[in-house]
Every structure is written in C-alpha cells, then in structure tokens.
Amino acid sequence: MAATLPGPSTDLDRQLQDLEGEIERLRRLAREQAIDLGGEIATLETRAEDVRKKIYTNPSPWHIVQLARHSQRPRLVDFVASLFTDVVELHGDRLFRDDPAMLAALARFEGRPVVVVGHNKGKDTKENIARNFGMPYPEGYRKALRVMRLAEKFHYPVIAFVDTPGAFPGDEAEERGQAEAIARNIEEMSRLRTSVIVVITGEGGSGGALAIAVGDLTLMLQYAIYTVISPEGCAAILWHDATKAAEAAAALRLTAKDLQALKIVDEVLPEPFGGAHRDPEAAITSVRSALQRHLPGMGQMPVQAMLERRYAKYRSLGQIVA
C-alpha cells in the first residue's frame, strides 16, 4: 500500500502532512542539537490535532479507504477473541492445503453455537506474509465452503467476516481455479440452508470478498469499504493514472453509507470517532451489539422462506431500464 499510496487528496490532508513533517523535523533537530523545542512542537501538535479532527468529522471516501486499510484496525483474530468463546479452528479444504488467509472456526456467541469464517489479515509484516495479506487462494474459499456446509448440517448460523484486498492474483491460484472457487461459493451461499450474517469489517475487495459474503443480513462497519475494484485499479484503468485513486474512491461509492443507499448493505455499524483503530474494543462492541440484536431472530424463519427472501434480495440489486 505504501508504495502506491498517492499524495494527499485534499487541502486538509496537505496541511496535516505539512504539520506532521514540521513536527518530525523539529523533533529531529531537538535531538541532534540537544535543544528544547517542546513549546514549538506542542503548538504544532495542537494544530495538527485540530486538522485531524476536521478530517475525522467528515472523512472523504479516500480517507475512509485509508481507515479501512489501517494497519491498527482490529483484525479477524481480535473480533474472534473478543466476541466468541469455545473457539475451535478448523483447517484445510480436504483437497489441497490449509490456507492461512482464510479462517474457519466453530464457536459460541453468548452460548449459542455458530460457525465463523473470515479473511485473516495480519497486523504486521510478519503476520501478513504468513497470511498472504488476507488474500485467499481457491483452497481458502473451499475451506470456508466446507465449514459452511457443516453449519448447514447442524442448522447453526454462519457469521462471515469480510476483510480482504481481494482474492490472491497469482499463477497457482489461477491454476487451481480461483474463479471457480469464488463462483461456487457465491452459488452455494445463495442457497445455503442455514442463516448467514455477513460483517464487512475492513476491506471488501471485489469477488474475493463476495465469495464469503452472500447472506441474509449484511452489516458493515462505518469506515469499512466494499468495492468491485480498488480505487487505484479503477484510476489506472479509467484514467491511466493510479494517483487519481482519491477521485476513483469517490466515484465508486464504496463507503458503508453509499452501499446502504444502494441497498447492498442492510445496516451500518458505528465506529469510534476517527476510526476503529483509535479504539478497537469500541468497534468490536459495535459488532457485538449488532449480533445481539440480530442473531436471536435468525433461523426463526422457515428455511424455504429464508431462501426466498435471500434470493429476492440479490435478485433486486441493480438499476435497469427497459
């Protein structure tokens, strides 16, 4: 991300970047010359904080993209550790290997058995390399489907956590049928005979996100994103200029609010001021209270009626004229 991150998108960004640069310069100066610049630094800090507040109060779509990708944003393991008990992780697709970019587990939410699947992004470089930055191979999707089938067998609800830049674009992933794996999951989830709650917590990267995101209820954290293509990719294709990602982020309507207006997302879950990374536990609590509200009602409906409703939901998405 750092390598392709375009420059500031607004005047506020630029101001903040200038202020942060100046603070950094004064700190270095103070260290190297052993002089006291505490007063100057504090003044600049206050100004930087003001600018930050302005940005956080009404973040642009591009800011929201940064928040969704923030390295300190709570990860799947944080949600799982905090929300569930009796967690038993299940490994492997029984076909090829265990994909660490996808997590699948049996768990209890406030005593109630559920099945959890989700993209398993890491927090630091080491974790991210081990988990392929949360970008699954086909075997990751096949593992998720295998475990969702288990949920179906026992009529336990599935809770799917979405946080991925996308399905892994690699030669081996293609050879093993990345497209087929995604297509299969989408089809099977559309008719899975148990209830499915989708929670988009970070990046909802295209087909690689949708492959575990077809369900009866789609929840989305306030500063998560969900998009058909990355803003950088969109800008590169449309304008041959990846630095126009901020414009693309606005054009794609990828924020939770936008997606709720398009009826793709059913409910937006509030985040702490400035984003989930500023208070991860508060963001997790937001998800918890949504699950508390919705989970008891799930599975009350007869299976056939639930499937009809799920079908009707996806069937209705889009805008056409005849």
Partner 1 sequence: MLNWLRRPKYSSLQRRDMPAGLWAKCPRCNNLIYRKELERNLKVCPKCGFHHRLTALERLEITLDQDSFEEIDAELTSTDPLKFEGYPQKLQEAKEKTGGAEAVITGEGTIDGYRTVIGVLDFHFMGGSMGSAVGEKVARASEQARDRQLPLVMFSASGGARMQEGALSLMQLAKTSAAVGRLHDAGFPYISVMCDPTTGGVTASFAFLGDVILAEPGALIGFAGRRVIEQTIRHKLPDDFQTAEFCLNKGLIDLVVTRSDMRSTVARLLSFFGAPRVEPVPVAAEPATPEPAQSRSGSSAADE
Per CB under 8 A, residues contacting partner 1 are 167-171, 173-180, 182-184, 186-188, 190-191, 206-207, 210-211, 214, 226-229, 234, 237-238, 251-254, 259, 262, 264, 310-311, 314-315, 317-322
**CA 290, 296, 302, 307: dihedral to nearest 10 degrees?**
20
Q: In the complex with partner 1, which residue's Cβ is closer, 3 or 34?
A: 3
Query: If you compute the radius of gyration of the chain from its CA atoms, what whole number of angstroms results?
Result: 21
Q: In the complex with partner 1, which residue's Cβ is closer, 40 or 266?
A: 266
Q: Which residues contact 242 (CB under 8 A, 6 or more apart)?
A: 4, 6, 232, 233, 235, 236
Q: Are strands 225-227 and 158-164 parallel, antiparallel or unpaired?
A: unpaired
Q: In the complex with partner 1, which residue's Cβ is closer, 34 or 320?
A: 320
To partner 1, the closest distance from the beta carbon of 307 in angstroms equals 9
Q: In the complex with partner 1, which residue's Cβ is closer, 108 or 253?
A: 253
* Half-sphere exposure of residue 266: CA atoms within 13 angstroms, side-chain side: 15
Q: Return the SS3 of 259.
A: helix
Q: Return the SS3 of 12.
A: helix
Q: In the complex with partner 1, which residue's Cβ is closer, 23 or 167?
A: 167
User: How far apart, in whole angstroms, are the C-alpha atoms of residue 162 and residue 301?
Assistant: 25
To partner 1, the closest distance from the beta carbon of 284 in angstroms equals 25
To partner 1, the closest distance from the beta carbon of 254 in angstroms equals 7
Q: In the complex with partner 1, which residue's Cβ is closer, 83 or 247?
A: 247
Q: In the complex with partner 1, which residue's Cβ is closer, 48 or 142?
A: 142
To partner 1, the closest distance from the beta carbon of 215 in angstroms equals 10
Q: In the complex with partner 1, which residue's Cβ is closer, 44 or 259?
A: 259
- Taken as a whole, the chain contains a residue count of 322
Please count the other Cβ atoms lying within 10 Å of the Cβ belonging to residue 206: 19
To partner 1, the closest distance from the beta carbon of 217 in angstroms equals 14
Secondary structure letter of residue 118 according to DSSP: E
User: How far apart, in whole angstroms, are the C-alpha atoms of residue 115 and residue 170?
Assistant: 29
Residue 96 burial (10 A CB sphere; 0-12, 13-18, 19+): middle
Question: 58 — phi, psi (to 5°)?
Answer: -140, 70
To partner 1, the closest distance from the beta carbon of 305 in angstroms equals 15
Secondary structure letter of residue 264 according to DSSP: S
End-to-end Cα spacing for the chain: 42
To partner 1, the closest distance from the beta carbon of 300 in angstroms equals 22
CB 167 within 8 A of CB 173: yes
To partner 1, the closest distance from the beta carbon of 265 in angstroms equals 9
